[in-house]
């Protein structure tokens, strides 16, 4: 059997550490149009290109570290020492096939044993010997089919080498893709060694961009995120930025020398500070407030100096520490919603310090926002919930009904973007209205309750359990659902108001002061 018949002529084939280019030249001649060779030095790349003109534009350079894993190959051909990466299944599992040229070398013998071990573990199928073409003296390859293939399906993608960074970005521009390169774009299309492209795109353009990236073999990484964090374009199953901020960043993006879109100076500073604080935390190298030096050192970028320059450029005077930047982003409306912070805290120890009870007490925990869901309209409506909350002692400050656009925005920006059925038999649907309330007599939750739901600051908010039961009365158990969601504390309530009705925040705060003055009188 010939190699092309087994793997398919249209497969993305990447050969790591080619010996002299002869194998690649024969593959191209055999019809493997999407072939790329990855040499370990510019000298080796140039020598291969000079010796085999058919490979011109098909040879690139990548460092030895991660070269086997960091690519979008459907077929990996491993030479010499690179073939030993078969010992680590994670390094090769993105490919459909892994091949090693037949030879009488120690590397081949050891790689063969490693491949057979993966077969015994059920990860590879037994190998087949195939020739490059039908000629008598054709080179032969030992090809393993990957049985438990896991292609790159997350945010990490790769730019086709034939396009290059510049060609890829110009395609985005020509296709009117709504996008922004988030950072390190100053020298584009040049990139520092080992640097990737962090790209934010509109949901509507995501599949077009993916198709562009899948068009050919490549090794230049791209981290691709969509506004609402669609599957495979998310950050740990969350949105990279809150969707309303991501949309704002794209709306205000500016042109970079006709090459691509990048954040405006204000969004550049805010989005980089967001990334440093909430994605990296202590690993960013930034000091904490009151410290002379950071606890850890970040080897890749001097974020303290970079953020200081960006802040000065737009006239923001802020000490470049974790806590001071957090307060700055809060004042600029760029702090993540509280429920998103809770999820980010799972892998960011510094964020966990922001979620202490003392941090929540800086806000008025008598303020709460109840989000009423679609199914409530068929079970008595929003007014039914308003009357019930009034009987529970809450003062109604505002009732805000959502149009379809706002409903979608709130659904993807709160509750982790998850409005499914949860432990209920049915989903209550998307949010369709907000009831903003104030409790003049908040009650501290018991220790048991606090242990179960540490972010809830007012025990009266647990009344939402009874409110859900109220809306389920008269319906069979199989039709029960959750028709209400609420904020957990004052800080989260303010986050919700910034998303739902930023123009009414002053009115809500004035309403709170009126309730307090009435009680004092």
Are the C-beta atoms of residues 158 and 72 closer than 8 Å to each other? yes
Range 30-43 average pLDDT: 93
Higher pLDDT, 110 or 450: 110
Per-residue confidence at 47, pLDDT binned at 50, 70, 90? very high
Range 284-305 average pLDDT: 79
The two structure tokens encoding residue 465: 């359990």
| Dihedral (Cα; 23, 25, 28, 34), 10-degree rounding | 80
Among 182-196, 202-216, 288-302, 336-350, name the most confident range: 202-216
Are the C-beta atoms of residues 126 and 146 closer than 8 Å to each other? no
* In a shared domain, residues 184 and 325: no
* In a shared domain, residues 336 and 388: no
The answer to whether position 468 is within a domain reads yes
* In a shared domain, residues 384 and 445: yes
Find the range with the poorest average confidence among 142-151, 316-325, 356-365: 356-365
Question: How many structural domains is the chain composed of?
Answer: 4
Angle at 143 between CA 140 and CA 148, to 5 degrees: 170
Residue 299, pLDDT > 70, answer no
Q: CA nearest 30: which of 7, 50, 4, 65?
A: 4
Rg, the chain, Cα only: 28
Containing structural domain, residue 103: 3-145
Residue 457 sits in a domain whose CATH number is 3.30.70
* Structure confidence by residue, pLDDT tens digits, 241-271: 988 899 999 999 999 999 999 999 999 999 9
Are the C-beta atoms of residues 515 and 508 closer than 8 Å to each other? no
Please give the pLDDT value at position 290.
82
Please give the pLDDT value at position 62.
86
Q: Is 433 helix (H, G, I), strand (E, B) or coil?
A: strand
Higher pLDDT, 197 or 520: 197
Are the C-beta atoms of residues 410 and 485 closer than 8 Å to each other? no
* In a shared domain, residues 134 and 171: no
Q: Among 101, 124, 145, which residue terminates a domain?
A: 145
Among 159-173, 219-233, 339-353, name the most confident range: 159-173
* In a shared domain, residues 19 and 50: yes
* In a shared domain, residues 92 and 114: yes
How far apart, in whole angstroms, are the C-alpha atoms of residue 397 and residue 39?
A: 66
Residue 360, pLDDT > 60, answer no
Find the range with the poorest average confidence among 137-151, 210-224, 285-299: 285-299
Average pLDDT over the chain reads: 91
The answer to whether position 378 is within a domain reads yes
* In a shared domain, residues 192 and 157: yes
441 burial level (CB within 10 Å; 0-12, 13-18, 19+): exposed
Residue 359, pLDDT > 80, answer no
The answer to whether position 207 is within a domain reads yes
The answer to whether position 304 is within a domain reads yes
83 burial level (CB within 10 Å; 0-12, 13-18, 19+): buried
Residue 61 sits in a domain whose CATH number is 3.40.50.150
Q: Among 336, 355, 374, which residue terminates a domain?
A: 355
The two structure tokens encoding residue 458: 């007012």
Range 170-197 average pLDDT: 94
Residue 41, pLDDT > 70, answer yes
Query: How many Cα atoms within 13 Å fall on the side-chain side of residue 219?
Result: 26
**Cα 168 vs. chain centroid, distance in angstroms?**
21
* Structure confidence by residue, pLDDT tens digits, 304-317: 999 999 999 999 99
Per-residue confidence at 231, pLDDT binned at 50, 70, 90? confident
15, containing H or E segment:
strand 13-16
Please give the pLDDT value at position 454.
80
The answer to whether position 259 is within a domain reads no
How far apart, in whole angstroms, are the C-alpha atoms of residue 275 and residue 253?
A: 17
Please give the pLDDT value at position 465.
92
Q: Among 232, 254, 276, which residue terminates a domain?
A: 254
* In a shared domain, residues 84 and 202: no
How far is CA 111 from each of CA 105, 174, 200, 396, rounded to the nearest angstrom?
Answer: 10, 45, 40, 71
The residue written with tokens 């908040």 in the block is: 442
How far apart, in whole angstroms, are the C-alpha atoms of residue 367 and residue 355?
A: 18
Residue 361, pLDDT > 60, answer no
The two structure tokens encoding residue 367: 């303020």
* In a shared domain, residues 97 and 237: no
How far apart, in whole angstroms, are the C-alpha atoms of residue 88 and residue 91?
A: 6
Which residues lie closer than 8 Å to 99 by C-beta, 6 or more apart?
A: 3, 75, 76, 77, 78, 141, 142, 143, 144
* In a shared domain, residues 80 and 212: no
* In a shared domain, residues 127 and 160: no
Residue 357, pLDDT > 90, answer no
* In a shared domain, residues 379 and 481: yes
Range 391-409 average pLDDT: 92
E strands in 82-137? 97-101, 128-131
The two structure tokens encoding residue 27: 């593959």
Residue 420, pLDDT > 70, answer no
Higher pLDDT, 159 or 295: 159
The two structure tokens encoding residue 378: 């068929």
How far apart, in whole angstroms, are the C-alpha atoms of residue 293 and residue 285?
A: 9
Range 130-155 average pLDDT: 87
Residue 358, pLDDT > 70, answer no
What is the share, in percent, of the chain residues with pLDDT greater than 90?
A: 71
């Amino acid at each position: 059997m010939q190699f092309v018949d087994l793997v398919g002529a249209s497969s993305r084939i990447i050969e790591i550490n080619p010996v002299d280019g002869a194998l690649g030249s024969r593959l191209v001649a055999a019809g493997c149009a999407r072939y790329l060779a990855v040499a370990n030095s510019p000298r080796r790349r140039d020598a291969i290109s000079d010796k085999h003109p058919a490979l011109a534009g098909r040879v690139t350079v990548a460092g030895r570290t991660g070269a086997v894993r960091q690519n979008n190959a459907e077929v990996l051909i491993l030479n010499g020492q690179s073939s030993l990466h078969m010992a680590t299944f994670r390094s090769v599992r993105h490919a459909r096939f892994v091949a090693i040229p037949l030879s009488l070398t120690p590397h081949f013998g050891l790689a063969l044993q490693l491949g057979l071990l993966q077969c015994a573990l059920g990860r590879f199928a037994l190998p087949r010997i195939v020739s490059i073409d039908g000629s008598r003296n054709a080179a032969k390859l030992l090809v393993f089919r990957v049985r438990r293939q896991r292609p790159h399906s997350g945010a990490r993608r790769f730019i086709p080498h034939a396009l290059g960074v510049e060609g890829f970005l110009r395609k985005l521009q020509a296709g009117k893709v709504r996008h922004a390169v988030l950072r390190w774009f100053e020298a584009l299309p040049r990139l520092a060694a080992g640097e990737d492209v962090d790209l934010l795109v509109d949901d509507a353009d995501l599949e077009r961009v993916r198709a562009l990236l899948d068009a050919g073999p490549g090794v230049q990484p791209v981290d691709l995120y969509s506004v609402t964090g669609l599957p495979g374009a998310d950050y740990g199953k969350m949105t990279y930025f809150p969707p309303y901020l991501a949309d704002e960043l794209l709306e205000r993006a500016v042109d970079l020398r006709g090459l691509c879109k990048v954040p405006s100076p204000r969004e550049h500073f805010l989005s980089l500070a967001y990334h440093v604080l909430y994605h990296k935390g202590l690993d960013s190298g930034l000091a904490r407030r009151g410290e002379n030096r950071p606890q850890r050192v970040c080897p890749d970028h001097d974020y303290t100096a970079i953020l200081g320059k960006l802040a000065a450029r737009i006239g923001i005077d802020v000490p470049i520490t974790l806590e001071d930047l957090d307060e700055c982003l809060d004042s600029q409306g760029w702090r993540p919603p509280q429920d998103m912070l809770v999820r980010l805290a799972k892998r960011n120890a510094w964020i966990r310090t922001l979620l202490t009870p003392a941090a929540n007490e800086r806000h008025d925990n008598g303020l709460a926002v109840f989000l009423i869901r679609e199914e409530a309209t068929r079970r008595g409506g929003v007014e039914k919930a308003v009357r019930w909350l009034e009987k529970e002692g809450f003062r109604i400050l505002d009732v805000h009904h959502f149009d379809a656009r706002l409903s979608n925005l709130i659904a993807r920006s709160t509750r982790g973007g998850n409005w499914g059925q949860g432990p209920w038999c049915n989903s209550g649907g998307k949010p369709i209205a907000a009831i903003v309330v104030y409790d003049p007599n908040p009650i501290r939750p018991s220790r048991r309750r606090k242990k179960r739901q540490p972010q809830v600051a007012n025990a009266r908010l647990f009344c939402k359990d009874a409110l859900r039961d109220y809306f389920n009365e008269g319906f069979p158990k199989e039709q029960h659902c959750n028709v209400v969601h609420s904020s957990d504390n004052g800080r989260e309530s303010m986050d919700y108001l910034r998303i739902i009705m930023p123009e009414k925040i002053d009115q809500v705060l004035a309403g709170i002061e009126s309730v307090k003055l009435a009680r004092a009188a």
